[in-house]
Chains A and B, each alone.
Chain A
Amino acid sequence: MASLSDHLHALESESIEILRETAASFARPVMLYSIGKDSSVLLHLALKAFWPAKPPFPLLHVDTTWKFRDMIAFRDRVAAEQGLELIVHTNREGVAQGINPIDHPSDHYTHVMKTLALRQALTQCGFDAAIGGARRDEERSRAKERVFSHRTAEHAWEPKAQRPELWRLYNTRLAKGESFRVFPLSNWTEGDVWAYIQAEGIELVPLYFAAPRPVVRRGGQLIMVDDERLRLQPGETVEQAWVRFRTLGCYPLTAASESRARTLDEVVAETLSSKQSERVGRLIDHDQASSMERKKREGYF
C-alpha cells in the first residue's frame, strides 16, 4: 500500500473532519450503507475517523429485496467483521403490495421501495443525521448540494431554503423533527474514489470486477439474471458474458458493461478512460432530465 498523494490525503482529511463534526453535533446519527464502492470508502473513512473507538453510529441499509445476492453477502460479512451494528430496513407495505422493479415503472418502484422506505427507517429510529456517500460530480442537481444538507420534518429537501455553507464551518443546528443528510464525499470525483480504493486496498463487492455472468440483452442494456424473478421476455435468452458493474443497485435496474477488467488496476484504468459517466448504467436517472432533483425533493438520497 503506497502512501496517499497530497490530493487524496486532503480529501481524506476533509471527509474525516466532516464525519467527526457529525458525531459531535447530532444526538442520533446513522450511516447509510448501500454496499457500493462509495459506501465502502465511506465506511473505511469512518473506521479511521474515530479510531481507536468504533464509529459512534450504526449502519443502515435500505433493502429493496432486489439487490444483487453478492451485495447482501458482502454487507453481512463486513458488518460482522467490523463489529458494527447493522440495521436493515425494508418497506414491508411495499413488499405486501408486490411493488417490484419488473412490473412497475422505475420511478414508482424507487419512490416506494427506496424513498419511502428510507423515510420510514429514519422516522422509526429517530435519526437526526444520515450520512451518505453521494458526490457532487455525480449529477447536475447534486452540484449545488451542501455537505450538511437540511431536511424538513417531512424529510423534504428544499433547494431554495438551504443554509449558506462557508469555509468548513457547518451550521448543524436543528429544530425538533428536522434532520440533516451529510455527504462527506461531496468533493470527491469518481476517479478520486477509485484511486483511494487502490491506494488504501479497500475491499469491494466482486461485482465491480469482470467475470462470466448470466445476462440478457434488453433495450440495448445488459441485465444480469441474478435470480429466477427476472422473467425472460419472448426472444430473450440468457447468455454468459464477461461483464462488470460500474455502480451497483437493484439488479433489474442496473446495467452491466462488457469488460475483461478483473483486477483493481484494470478496473481503474478502464474507468478513468471511459467516455460515459457512471450514471449511464443507472436506469432510474433517465426518467426525465431533472428526475434526480424531483426524487431528492421527496427525500431520496
Chain B
Amino acid sequence: MADTASMPAATAVAAAEQKSLLRFLTCGSVDDGKSTLIGRLLFDSGSVFDDQMAAVARDSRKFGTTGEEPDLALLLDGLEAEREQGITIDVAYRYFSTARRKFIVADAPGHAQYTRNMAVAASVSDLAVLVVDARKGVSEQTRRHLTVARLLGVRHAVLAVNKIDLADYSQARFREIEADLRRLAEAFETCRAIPLSARYGDNVALPSERLAWFDGPTLLELLETVEAGHDEGDRPFRLQVQLVCRPDSAFRGYQGTVASGRIAPGDPVVAALSGQTTRIARIADRDGDREGAQAGDAVTLTLADEIDISRGDVLAEAANRPEVSDQFAAHLVWMGDEPLLPGREYLVKCGTRILPASVTEISHRLDVASGERLAAKKLDLNDIGFAKLALSQPIAFEPYAVNRRMGAFLLIDRFSNATLAAGVIEHGLRRATNIHWQSVDVDKAARAAAKHQRPGVLWFTGLSGSGKSTIANLVEKKLHAEGRHTYLLDGDNVRHGLNRDLGFTDADRVENIRRVAEVARLMADAGLIVLVSFISPFRAERRMARELMGEDFLEVWVDTPLEICRQRDPKGLYKKAFAGQLSNFTGVDSPYEPPETAELHVETARQSAEAAADAIVEYLRARDAAR
C-alpha cells in the first residue's frame, strides 16, 4: 500500500474519472461459459479484491466445476439458489474499469426467462456480447438474442466464440461460425466475432499465442474502443416532467431529466399535451443557475409564462414537437405469466405518465427463430409481438428508433401490479389525431328525461345455469309493466349475431364482453334501462364494463353453487363439458371469478327467482328516489 499511497491523489482520481462509460450486456445459452467470461474480465482487469477472491476459492471447493482452480463464474452467481443449482436466474450488474474506460455489465442469464432477461439487459446497453460454445456455434438461441438486442436498440454486437481451447484453437472452426454470424448481423452498426477461452484467458484481456492466426483485437480491447452512447444530444429537446417544484408562491419549477437535445434560457418550448408555448426562463440549480443543459441532465426549469403543466407532461422544442395521440403501434416483449389478451385493460407507463390502455389488435407474433410473422390472438410469456394500443387519453411520444426515452413503455397489470410487458413504439396511429368527439345538443340527460326514467345497466353475472336469464326476464317484465323503457341483452342471443365470429377462448371472451359493454353503454346513453345477462367470468372485464359506464353500472351476482347448476343443466352443457366434449367451459375447465363489490347479490339457493326480481326492481326504485 505504501508505494501507491504516495501517488498524487488528485491525479489518481482525475485519471479514474475522466474515462468514458460503456454499458454492455452478456448473454448466451446455459454452459456456454458466460459467467466465467465476465469473471475473467473482472479478474484480468484487476477489479477483484483479495477477500472476494478468497471467498470464490472457498466456494469453488463447494460448488465449483474447475477442480483445484478457482471457478471465476462464482464471482458472479450472486444468489444462494444459483450457486447450488449452477445456473443464473436474474440479470446481475457488474462494475469494472480499465485504464481507458469504465464498464457496467448487465449479465443476462440464458436459462429460464431468457427473453425477459435479455430485454432488461438490452434496455440499458450499447453493446451485446453473445457467448457461444465454439463446438456448438451459432444456435437458435443466438438468433433470439440478436433479435431482442436489435429490437431494444442495442448498437453493437460481439460474438464471443468461447471454449476455443476445446475446439483445438481451430481457425477453420472459427471462420465457419463467423460466416454464420454474418448472415444475422446486418442490422447492427458493428458486429464481429472473436475467438477466446474464458477459462484460460486466451484473447479475453490478453492476446494469446495459441490464437496467433487471429489478427483482430482482444475482447477487452474491442470493449475499450467501441463507440459508446447514443446521439440523444443531437435530437430535438424533450423533457418528461417528473415533479412540479413549488416551495413558495414565488417559485414554480419543472423538474425532470432531459430526454434528448439541449436547452438554454430564452429557448422557446411547448407543453406537448396542451400545445401552449412559452420560453425557458432559468435552469435553476443549487450551485447557481446553469447556462445550458443537455440530454441526460437532471434539471429544474422555470418558464417565462405560467402555463398549465403537471407530472406526465412533456416539454419540447416549440418548433419541433413530438407526436400526441391516444393510439400507437408498438413491439411488445411479453413478460406476464398470464397471456396478453386484446381488449383487456392494462396500465401503460410511458415516461412519467401512467394511463389505462388496452391492446386493440395483435398484428402478429414474431417467430424469433425463423423471423417469420405469425397470426396471433394472444401473446404468451416470452413472446414478442407487434400490436396496436389505445390509451384512455393522448400522450406525447416518439418512435423508439428516434428517441429511446420517448418511445419506451411498460404494460402493468391493474390488479397484481406486475410488469407485464416492455414496449417500444414503432409509430403513432394517425387516425386518433384526426377523429374528434362530435359535440351534440341532445344529450343523455335530455333523452333520459324524455323517457322519464334514470338509465342504467343491470349486469347479471354468474355460472351457466345459475338463473341469470330467468331473473333478468322477470325483471324486464316487471319494469315494462311499470312503463319503463328497457332492453335485454342475452349472452346466447348476442352470440348468434353481433358476436358470432367469437369463440370461447380467453381472448374471445374478453372481446365478447367488450362489445356487449359498448352496446350497453350506447343504449344507456339513449336513455334505456339495459339488462345484460352474461356469464362474464373475469373480474377484469366486468371492471372494464364498470369503468366504461360509471354509476350507470349495477352488477348483479347471480350466485348459484356449481353443483346446483350442474343438476339443473337446462341446455345439457355441463354434461357435455364434464364428458370432455366442450372445452373452456366456465366452472369446469375455465375459472369463474366471483364479484367483490356487486351492487346486488342474489343467492338462488335461498331465494326464488320471483323474489329476487322483486328485490332488484325495489333497488332501482330506491336508486331513482335517491337521485
Contact = CB atoms under 8 A, between A and B. Distances in A.
Interface of A: 5-10, 12-14, 16-17, 20-21, 23-24, 47-54, 136-137, 140-144, 159-160, 162-169, 171, 173-175, 186-187, 189, 191, 194-195, 198-199, 261, 265-266, 268-270, 272-277, 279-280, 289-290, 293-294
Report the 10 A-B pairs with minimum CB-CB distance, sorted nearest first: A273-B4, A269-B9, A265-B9, A16-B298, A277-B49, A173-B417, A53-B247, A5-B17, A140-B78, A166-B123
B246 A51 contact: no
Nearest to B14: A5
14 contacts: A9-B297, A52-B284, A140-B77, A160-B89, A162-B90, A164-B116, A166-B124, A173-B417, A189-B95, A198-B13, A265-B9, A269-B5, A274-B1, A293-B79
B356 interface: no
A188 to B, nearest CB: 9
A270 B116 contact: no
Interface string B145-189: 000000000000000000000000000000000000000000000
B285 to A, nearest CB: 7
B335 A13 contact: no
Contacts of A141: 78-80
A20 B298 contact: yes
A144 B7 contact: no
A166 B408 contact: yes
B33 interface: no
Contacts, number: 197
Contact of A195 (B5, B13, B117, B311): B13
Contacts of B321: none
Dominant secondary structure at the B interface: mixed
A163 B120 CA distance: 10
B349 A169 contact: yes
B286 interface: yes
B89 A171 contact: no
B257 interface: yes
A275 B123 contact: no
B19 A7 contact: yes
B21 A7 contact: yes
B78 A142 contact: yes
Contacts of A195: 13, 16-17
Given A163-B419, A164-B419, A166-B422, A17 B298 contact: yes
B76 interface: yes
B119 A164 contact: yes
A17 B253 CA distance: 15
B206 interface: no
B410 interface: yes
B124 A167 contact: yes
B500 interface: no
A9 to B, nearest CB: 8
Interface residues of B, number: 81
A216 B51 CA distance: 23
B90 A159 contact: yes
B410 to A, nearest CB: 5
Contacts of A272: 12-13, 16
A143 B94 contact: yes
Interface stretch (B52-60, B431-439, B489-497, B576-584): B52-60
Given A144-B90, A159-B79, A167-B124, A137 B243 contact: no
Given A7-B21, A191-B16, A175 B417 contact: yes
Contact of A277 (B19, B51, B245): B51
A274 B49 contact: yes
B612 interface: no
Given A166-B419, A272-B13, 11 more contacts: A13-B297, A17-B242, A17-B256, A166-B120, A166-B124, A167-B404, A171-B412, A268-B9, A268-B13, A275-B1, A275-B49
Interface string B289-306: 000000011101000000
Interface string B223-266: 00000000000000000001101110001010111000000000
Given A7-B21, A160-B89, A290-B80, A277 B9 contact: no
B401 interface: no
A162 B373 CA distance: 31
B49 A49 contact: no
B83 interface: yes
Contacts of A165: 120
Given A7-B20, A166-B408, A20 B9 contact: no
Nearest to A44: B286
Contacts of A265: 9-10
A181 to B, nearest CB: 16
A50 B419 contact: no
Contacts of B404: 167
B370 interface: no
B405 interface: yes
B352 interface: yes
A274 B83 CA distance: 28
A184 to B, nearest CB: 11
B13 A24 contact: no
Contacts of B97: 191
B277 to A, nearest CB: 25
Given A24-B242, A164-B120, A164-B422, A174 B9 contact: no
